[in-house]
Amino acid sequence: MRPLPRSLRGLTVVFLALFLTVTALAGFGTFFATASMVRVLVDERIESESETLVPRGTTPNRAELSQHIMEMARQRDTGDLGVLLSDAHGNPIVGNVRLNRELPLGYSTLGRQDRIAGLSAGRVLVREIGGGMRLAIFAETEPVDNYFAARRRIYFAGFGAIVLVVLWGLLAFRRLVGKRIDAVRHTAESIIEGDLAQRVPMPGDGGEFDQQAGAFNRMLDRIGQLMGEIRNVSNDISHEMRTPLARLRNELALLEQSAAAEPVRDRVAMARMQADELLGMFAAMLRIAEIEDGSRRAGFRRFDLAELATEIVEMVQPVAHERGQRVLMERADEAKLVGDRQLLSQLLVNMLENSVRHTPRGTRIRVSVAREADAVVLVVTDDGPGIPASQREHVMRRFGRVERAGHNGAKAASGHGLGLPLAEAIVRLHRGTMALEDAGPGLRIVARLPL
């Protein structure tokens, strides 16, 4: 059995089709039931008139019957009741009706094709009454001319008005429900993009939609409160740790330069570099928290991403050259988008730094900015060792790092694992997507930013 549609549009179409079907069946059923009832009543009437003129089981006198029929014709309206006495061959003897065809015995239906004056639709009963005569009694089934046509128009107008009213109500209901659903979806999308302050608008009428929006907003308030507490803990830890760590780093730097540290200078330098790495990690954590807050969107401005990418490539080229690597601007389509220039500079630096830091000498790194119909695609490609497909999802998480075999066969990881998550946070802030792909060989980082 085919399941019912679950979308609002599908349910609306199904309900409308069902309503139109039931309405049409009801209209046609009512029309034909009324017509059938009228036909039965008319048949009973003409049978009664026929029995009154010539009771069953009797043989009338032709002259007396003819005289009686002529009196009936003078007393009755020809459009109301018709009488025709004919012989066995169908030749008329007397009556107020003339036919253009021979009628069969029993009941028959008459119409305009019979060309009876004053009759557009009716019924006739023909019976043999003996003496070689046939008696036909006619009656209208329409009280006025074109009665059934008028009835059809009335039915179409009445039921059509019902259909229009229900259709209008259904469309209005669908629009109302769709509008409320759109509001919830817009709120959810804004929250996904980092705007945790977004809430579902409330009509304020106290209805079911208003109550649902209120419950949804209270849930978001609670989630925002919990997220804020977690974020504050993380930020507080980062802030509190940076100050003593910065003092420790400075002390190590001073100790490294002193003459007394000559025997352990290399170890002191290594400790200082580790402190620098920890400071960079805390700075990256605070930066990600700031970006995910979404408040930076207020400062978005329009600029050319290709021009910015060219500047960053020129800035990184000397660093890469010292490491025996080449950084090339492969493609630079004009791509003016609305965004945060400083953050997108950070994005480009992180993408290039990832390629420079994790590839060997002789690696070629290519940067391209390509404009599509509704987006700008920023791609950084290298021909280094790449990242295995099984680890790509891992490195996009915070503190996720690629494990590589060291000199002694043990697995080692480099970096603090926040460069790519920071880059992805910047892309999400701009409502874009970022993916890691296989460059065969090497790694391709693709950031798609909507225009």
For residue 230, the model assigns a pLDDT of 65
Residues 346, 271: one domain?
Answer: no
Q: How far apart are CA 302 and CA 308, in angstroms?
A: 12
Residues 117, 229: one domain?
Answer: no
Q: What are phi and psi of 124, to 5 degrees?
A: -140, 145
* pLDDT tens-digit map of 17-48: 888 888 788 878 887 888 888 889 889 988 99
Residues 375, 276: one domain?
Answer: no
- In a domain, residue 161? The reply is no
Residues 214, 328: one domain?
Answer: no
Residue numbers of the domain that contains 236: 208-292
Per the DSSP assignment, residues forming a β-bridge with 337 are 303
Domain boundary among 292, 314, 344: 292
Residue keyed to tokens 């309900």: 15
Longest alpha-carbon distance in the chain: 156
- In a domain, residue 375? The reply is yes
Mean per-residue pLDDT over the chain, rounded: 81
Residues 310, 420: one domain?
Answer: yes
> Does residue 314 carry a pLDDT above 50?
yes
Q: How many domains does the chain have?
A: 3
- In a domain, residue 194? The reply is no
For residue 5, the model assigns a pLDDT of 60
Residues 87, 114: one domain?
Answer: yes
Q: Return the CATH number at 441.
A: 3.30.565.10
Residues 278, 306: one domain?
Answer: no
Residues 127, 81: one domain?
Answer: yes
* pLDDT tens-digit map of 245-282: 788 888 888 888 888 778 888 888 888 888 877 777 67
- In a domain, residue 188? The reply is no
* pLDDT tens-digit map of 368-400: 999 988 899 999 999 988 888 888 888 887 777
- In a domain, residue 152? The reply is no
For residue 271, the model assigns a pLDDT of 85
In order, the DSSP letters of 63-109 are HHHHHHHHHHHHHS-TTTEEEEEEETTS-EEEES---SSPPPSEEEE
Angle formed at CA 10 by CA 8 and CA 11, multiple of 5 degrees: 65
Domain boundary among 233, 264, 292: 292
Q: How far apart are CA 67 and CA 84, in angstroms?
A: 12
Residues 259, 376: one domain?
Answer: no
Do 320 and 326 form a contact (C-beta atoms < 8 A)? yes
Report the Cα 39 to chain-centroid distance in Å. Answer: 52
- In a domain, residue 159? The reply is no
- In a domain, residue 21? The reply is yes
Residues 345, 273: one domain?
Answer: no
